[in-house]
Structure 1
Amino acid sequence: MNEEVWVKVIRIYDGKISLSMKGIDQRTGEEQVKDGQGRLGESCTNGESRGKRYGDTYDGPPKRKSTMDAWELNQMRQAYGVKRSRIEGKRDVEDPFAEVDSEEEPNKEEEEDVEIQLNGTVPPFLAGKLAGNSKTYQPQKAARIPDGSLERIAQNGSRFMSDAREKKMELRKQVERARREKERDADPMKSSDVDSSAAATAIQAWKRQSRSATYGIRSHKSIREQRESLPVFAVRDQLLNIIKEHDMTVIVGETGSGKTTQITQYLAESGYGEKGIVACTQPRRVAAISVAKRVSEEVGCKLGDEVGYQIRFEDCTTTSTIIKYMTDGMLEREALVDPDMLKYSIIMLDEAHERTVATDVLFALLRDAVRRRKGSLKLIITSATLDSSKFSHYFDDCPVFHIEGRTFPVKIYYTKQPEKDYIEAAIDTVMDIHVSNPPGDILVFLTGREEIETCCETIVQKMSTLYKSDASVSELIVLPIYSAMPSEMQSRIFEPTPKGKRKVVIATNIAETSITIDGIYYVVDPGFVKVNAYDAKLGMDSLIVQPISKAQADQRSGRAGRTGPGICYRLYTKKAYEREMAANTVPEILRQNLSNTVLMLKAMGIEDVVHFGFMDRPKEQAILAALQELYILDALDSDGRLTRTGKYMSYFPMEPLMSKTMIQSVDFGCSYEVMVIIAMLSVPDVFYRPREQREKADKAKQQFDDYTGDHLTLLNVYEKWEDSEFSRTWCSDHYVHEKSMRKARDVKIQLGKIMGQLDRREGRRDSSIVSCKGDKEIIIKAFVSGYFKNCAKRVNNAGHYDEEGTFRTLVENTPVHIHPSSALFRKGGIDYVMYHTLILTNQEYMQCVTKIDARWLVKYAPRFYKQAAENELSLMKKREKIEPLWNRFDQGQEWRLSRGRR
């Protein structure tokens, strides 16, 4: 700013002056000239022309060639795969679109562009069943969704949440600017007033209070008194008699009736534990661990002895374990080795209404096992809400036993008009209840952690303002709860509310059935839930917000009637409840990728998976697509039978892509490194970025970044942590989650045990766990052999709607981007990448990205990829659409060719 410079007058026309600093010596103000090779020489004085001074035949800028220029040739090469040729010219020029290149070296084949496309081969056993390539989806005409419907509200999302994100971002920028100004001024007496408002102070105090809370449910009653006070205790004898008389029983009990913790103990006390293990499955790992801890306290034993649990990569049981809590996925894996469940005397499938994929598979497997064992194995299906007649009919018309809970009448209020923003409506409803209604705690249902935390902060902020204006208002205790919280729930959630105060619990659907909170008199139900759905177009699992079912709505309203008569405020119309909501929740098996499920069934010896006895059978096309995926992974042969590779893949409790990588790493000689990386991928993110120390955290992460990408970055982190002797201090110094690292170490140990079991089955003398001694390329090749489907190519000639740095997936041609947390973010020279997962936020991001060589795809996945033939239009080019240049809605005129050429 305000600096004097020398310029040259280029042109004066119509009162306008064109100036340029190019070629002007800023020390003397004289014009510099170029020699014959285009180098700047001495200043030109006395008006000498540059050409005359150097005896050059310079006659202005180079003219365009009348033949095809390089820019034009480049477009043809990208469109049709034509090999680039270089155009002769007199001198180097600055025009990037009239390229003048030197002769190419004939032996540099590795620099030639390789065009990869899908093979399109259909497995012989699926011939005639798949309509061409199963990945070719026919577009369907979307039905118009009414503006006021729940589906439309779920799609549009919450405007309140968008504004809250923008405010947080702006506040973060203000804090960062204030910090930089403070460092620049270096004045210790100067302080920033950013984020010093009373509302912000109240939010900070609330967060400190939440962090300092203790864990565990507190009660003044003895354990015996607590057990006898539960509703299930009154019907204990009647329940045991029904289980004794029937091999299969359906139990419907209200949440909080004690069915999860007490029935297993009743069965063990009745002698079933002497005949085998009493098992209880849970759909969530957190629930399996927390319930097992509670039952071990009631039994009076150490966790893992008489009462234990088993989840993926963690087994807390011994030979003396009688009561075993486990995830439904782990019991499904045990069916591989023991389809008759010979070590179990009774199995209880809890929370059956959630209908996870593993639970639906267990329905059929255990029903057949009970029939085969003829009385020596009993099956119990328990739930808070389910279609009891449907379940009874599926399980051979078994009896249905109802456990009555403590229920009171609940008034239900609907809105007269649809709420445009359910978050804002929920907050306003909570404030109105607190100010206007009699004492009683409030339960609010929201869809996820971000919504819950934003809602909590907003309520705390509004209450701080309300306290100032009206001192008579009672205190409102704000408590969040969601499944990502620690397994030990905060005690304040379950503690009785102090006299003269009211608490509001803001929760996900975990509060519908998995936990019970006493003292709730008011329920606020916006009518939405976040579910996991498989997007076949993107090839990824994504969490989407959608309307709840009528069964979920009834279950939520029932939470208000446990302690006394309550009220449920439904933030949707009665018409929406009656006409738009489904009767029951859609089973997960109807909206998930079935590859792992089909692999499990094949490994159990079930060949006809299409006609497997599911309670709700998935679409045939979904099963066939899963079979085709297993075929290209070499898990199935051309006849659809399980191969040796597929059998080994079924031993690993992970997705088929990951298990294939683990098996292939043995042949590549890098199984140790791959095992470490898989362990790191199987745990939550190991890096954390404290809001106030983001720059330091980013610099710490850069120390581990590998130039090849994120897979080897994770390997570097684990090796450095191992070198520090698994130090906790090292983790805190490098902004690494110690809990995630220790979990990764446990996963690595479990994978090592599985590899050892495979070695013994194969009769190998030497261990298959070997190290490649730092050969990075071999490690990446091993991952390519398993994750070849998860690959993308950079868009070289981006259209108007493709941003710079956009990639397109090779399978579906979907535009994706490298996640900002990746080591390859904004790195150049990358054409092909492999990614671990896709996540959908404001756009589709690839997570855990590594750059690869395109030739590896053809070499290690010949069933899926092939190299495009020269001088032919590749499949990817055929997919490209002609986009119109002119767009009258584009004010920035991005349609212009000149914009693309930059």
Structure 2
Amino acid sequence: MKHGRSHDPPQSATIRTCHLKKDPARLMTDESPSIDQLLKNLDQAMISERHRLRRQLHELRKKPDEAKLAQWVARVQASCAQVTARRESVPAIRYDDNLPIAAKRDEIKEALLKHQVLIIAGETGSGKTTQLPKICLEIGRGQHGLIGHTQPRRIAARSVASRVAEEIGTPLGALVGYQVRFEDQSDSNTLIKLMTDGILLAETQHDRFLERYDTIIVDEAHERSLNIDFLLGYLKTLLPRRPDLKVIITSATIDLQRFSEHFNDAPVIEVSGRTFPVDVWYRPLTSEQDEEGNSVEDDLTVDQAILATLDELAAFERSERKSPGDVLVFLPGEREIRDAAEVLRKAQLRHTEILPLYARLSPAEQQRIFQSHPGRRVVLATNVAETSLTVPGIRYVIDTGTARISRYSYRAKVQRLPIEAVSQASANQRKGRCGRVEPGLCVRLYSEEDFNGRPEFTDPEILRTNLAAVILQMLHLRLGEITDFPFIEPPDGKAISDGFNLLQELSAVNRENQLTPLGRQLARLPVDPRMGRMLLEAAQQGSLQEVLIVASAMSVQDVRASRRRIRPTRNGRMPTRILPGWSICGAASKSSARR
């Protein structure tokens, strides 16, 4: 952040009557320091307070005022006291030395102290997600600001926060908290904050320099979602202005050099993960044919293939004299999970518990996957279990080889979620969910030839989505031309043009692609620009309440699942935090009602 140059202060600006209490921060001596000395000592205050305090001190340089200077000193004292309290609240840090990351702990500490950006490459089960925040705490991070830790999915943010809080020995929501959409379990004393990457990006609207944070961990960066790519580009532009900020990028061992080069050859530390071998069986759904091309047996449905594979695994266990092991089944979506669960329950598998796992499950339902079962657990999961969430005790993985992948249709002008074959990298990530505590087995419901013919990596989301929302935020944050923004993988010109065209249709930008007043309002709403435009128009037409209901229903997959999260306040009104920006719409609605 840029500030005015320091000049020699006038003699009258020296403090003569105000003294700070002697505390561990040692902000001032008793010899009445000058303003220049005070500026240097601001490094002991909370980062979020420094810019405001520095600006106030520069004003006092121009117009000296002993009373205001005394008030300023009191504010600095309070900020330093907060830092001291945060430092003293850090508990003794304990680690699990059985995790692979334990062997790299000292190397990670040293690299964090020397470098502003660090890339951590860890395979499944390395412990990077839960141990990195603790390492940061141990070297003094989290005292002058939060340790922000982003996850691609809400379910992962909640579960990781719960795990880290448990390991540190603090109640969830205290020293370790989390924030996802509609839910904030953190307070002013929180040191480590788990959140979705979308939440962190939303904070840039009111905290451009992310001054609430002294450390940011971007987890699962290899997923290359639109939010992650935009966040990585934003952080690159921010780092020169925030030399005090530390950034850690974690990824599976995929395309590491690209991340390192993006951050000016940042150091990379690789952490081993799985320590047991995993065998792979291929069981394609297509029927086998004889020499004359006639089908020997009928094709199997996915549900039938899963049931047949479970029978085969049971026979394998009997032949090897093994106890039943837990199974993780990857399916593309919730509907497929419900269908498979119904088939498996009708089969009445003995001593088997069927558990669904997808992002919209309630926290209580999610916790069931962490509870032990005397028999076999069969966890039916979307790709949320691919990297974001570790299901304990998995011996077998059944991979259907498909997932719902978001793609923008340039012809229909809509975002779609077709079921597609996953890449080799995703398939290998799925395989890696077993073999953590004992040798594992991955059964792929497709052929080896099919696997070898698949693309090595999944296309980054920025190459297959509409860019209107990204362009809108970039214009609002004044980040310059989108073609100059440091994306890891820049979008093509057609995608950029299509995004601007949509914003022009919504009247968010003018013909020169400059942000309009309406566009500024849209940028403040955490919804799709088309949805936001609908809300703003409804406010003008006096129908906001009705359209809010429609928009809310359109923004979730199942309105019944969100009912528990939205409760009236004590006065019976719906909370305004449901939709940040409500006050903007509400004001417009009132003015239209008066007309």
Calculate the TM-score normalised by the size of structure 1. 0.50
Contact 2:262 2:488 in 1 (8 A): yes
Contact 1:755 1:769 in 2 (8 A): no
Aligned pair 1:568/2:442, yes or no?
yes
Equivalence for 1:742: 567
Equivalence for 1:770: 590
Size of the aligned set, in residue pairs, is: 485
1:289 aligned to which of 143, 152, 158: 158
Equivalent-residue separation in structure 2 for 1:318 and 1:514 (angstroms): 25
Which AA in structure 2 matches 1:294?
R
Equivalence for 1:622: 495
* Deviation (angstroms), 1:368: 1.7
* Deviation (angstroms), 1:390: 1.8
Equivalent-residue separation in structure 2 for 1:664 and 1:650 (angstroms): 15
1:265 aligned to which of 120, 134, 139: 134
Equivalence for 1:478: 354
CA deviation map 1:608-629 (0-9, x unaligned):
2134321122221111011011
Which AA in structure 2 matches 1:749?
T
1:754 aligned to which of 581, 590, 595: 581
Distance 1:493 1:663, change over 3 A: closer
Aligned pair 1:441/2:308, yes or no?
no
Distance 1:522 1:662, change over 3 A: closer
Alignment of 1:210-221 (within 5 A): none
Equivalent-residue separation in structure 1 for 2:105 and 2:509 (angstroms): 49
Equivalence for 2:24: none
Distance 1:638 1:265, change over 3 A: same
Equivalence for 1:132: none
Equivalence for 1:515: 389
Alignment of 1:530-541 (within 5 A): 530-541=404-415
1:364 aligned to which of 212, 227, 233: 233
Which AA in structure 1 matches 2:313?
I
Contact 1:482 1:507 in 2 (8 A): yes
* Deviation (angstroms), 1:448: 1.7
Equivalence for 1:545: 419
Equivalent-residue separation in structure 2 for 1:417 and 1:330 (angstroms): 41
Distance 1:582 1:353, change over 3 A: same
CA deviation map 1:392-437 (0-9, x unaligned):
1222111111222242111222247846544322221111111333
Contact 2:124 2:432 in 1 (8 A): no
Q: Kindly indicate which of the two structures has a greater share of residues assigned to helix.
A: 2
Which AA in structure 1 matches 2:567?
R
CA deviation map 1:622-678 (0-9, x unaligned):
110110111121111121111111112111111112222333344434555555654
Equivalent-residue separation in structure 2 for 1:484 and 1:446 (angstroms): 15
Equivalence for 1:556: 430
* Deviation (angstroms), 1:255: 2.9
Equivalent-residue separation in structure 1 for 2:231 and 2:470 (angstroms): 11
Aligned pair 1:650/2:523, yes or no?
yes
* Deviation (angstroms), 1:284: 1.1
Distance 1:442 1:286, change over 3 A: closer
* Deviation (angstroms), 1:599: 0.3
Which AA in structure 2 matches 1:411?
D
Distance 1:435 1:359, change over 3 A: same
* Deviation (angstroms), 1:539: 3.1
CA deviation map 1:483-504 (0-9, x unaligned):
2222245555334442xx3333
Distance 1:400 1:641, change over 3 A: same
Equivalent-residue separation in structure 2 for 1:462 and 1:667 (angstroms): 56
Contact 1:385 1:551 in 2 (8 A): no
Distance 1:235 1:743, change over 3 A: farther
Contact 1:685 1:740 in 2 (8 A): no
Alignment of 1:407-486 (within 5 A): 407-415=275-283, 418=286, 420=299, 421-437=301-317, 438-439=322-323, 440-463=325-348, 475-486=351-362
Which AA in structure 2 matches 1:483?
A
Aligned pair 1:663/2:536, yes or no?
yes
Alignment of 1:870-885 (within 5 A): none
Equivalent-residue separation in structure 2 for 1:747 and 1:602 (angstroms): 32
Aligned pair 1:338/2:193, yes or no?
no
Equivalence for 2:463: 590
Which AA in structure 2 matches 1:482?
Y
Contact 1:548 1:585 in 2 (8 A): yes
Contact 1:512 1:555 in 2 (8 A): yes
Equivalence for 1:863: none
Distance 1:300 1:659, change over 3 A: same
Equivalent-residue separation in structure 1 for 2:396 and 2:573 (angstroms): 43
Contact 2:225 2:461 in 1 (8 A): yes
Distance 1:483 1:747, change over 3 A: farther
Alignment of 1:189-228 (within 5 A): 227-228=96-97
**Cα RMSD, aligned residues only:** 3.1
Equivalence for 2:510: 637
Contact 2:526 2:580 in 1 (8 A): no
Larger C-alpha radius of gyration, 1 or 2? 1
CA deviation map 1:673-696 (0-9, x unaligned):
5556544554554469xxxxxxxx
CA deviation map 1:697-732 (0-9, x unaligned):
xxxxxxxxxxxxxxxxxxxxxxxxxxxxxxxxxxxx
Which AA in structure 2 matches 1:239?
I
Equivalent-residue separation in structure 2 for 1:492 and 1:325 (angstroms): 21
Give the SS at the match of 2:417.
strand
Alignment of 1:237-316 (within 5 A): 237-316=106-185
Aligned pair 1:386/2:386, yes or no?
no
Equivalence for 1:162: none
Q: Percent identity?
A: 36
Equivalence for 1:14: none
Distance 1:409 1:743, change over 3 A: farther
Which AA in structure 1 matches 2:179?
Q
Distance 1:490 1:641, change over 3 A: closer
After TM superposition, the structure 1 stretch with the greater mean CA deviation from structure 2, 741-750 or 476-485, is: 741-750
* Deviation (angstroms), 1:746: 9.4
Contact 1:686 1:741 in 2 (8 A): no
Contact 1:449 1:482 in 2 (8 A): yes
Which AA in structure 1 matches 2:581?
I
Contact 2:148 2:215 in 1 (8 A): yes
* Deviation (angstroms), 1:603: 0.8
Equivalent-residue separation in structure 1 for 2:262 and 2:190 (angstroms): 31
Distance 1:301 1:443, change over 3 A: closer
Equivalent-residue separation in structure 1 for 2:202 and 2:93 (angstroms): 36
* Deviation (angstroms), 1:230: 3.5
Contact 2:93 2:134 in 1 (8 A): no
Which AA in structure 1 matches 2:339?
T
Equivalent-residue separation in structure 2 for 1:591 and 1:607 (angstroms): 22
Equivalent-residue separation in structure 2 for 1:743 and 1:329 (angstroms): 25
Contact 2:216 2:248 in 1 (8 A): yes
* Deviation (angstroms), 1:591: 1.3
Aligned pair 1:493/2:366, yes or no?
no
* Deviation (angstroms), 1:335: 2.6
Distance 1:307 1:406, change over 3 A: same
Give the SS at the match of 1:522.
strand
Note the residue ranges of structure 1 that are not aligned, 5 or more in a row: 1-222, 465-473, 689-736, 760-765, 779-902
Alignment of 1:50-129 (within 5 A): none
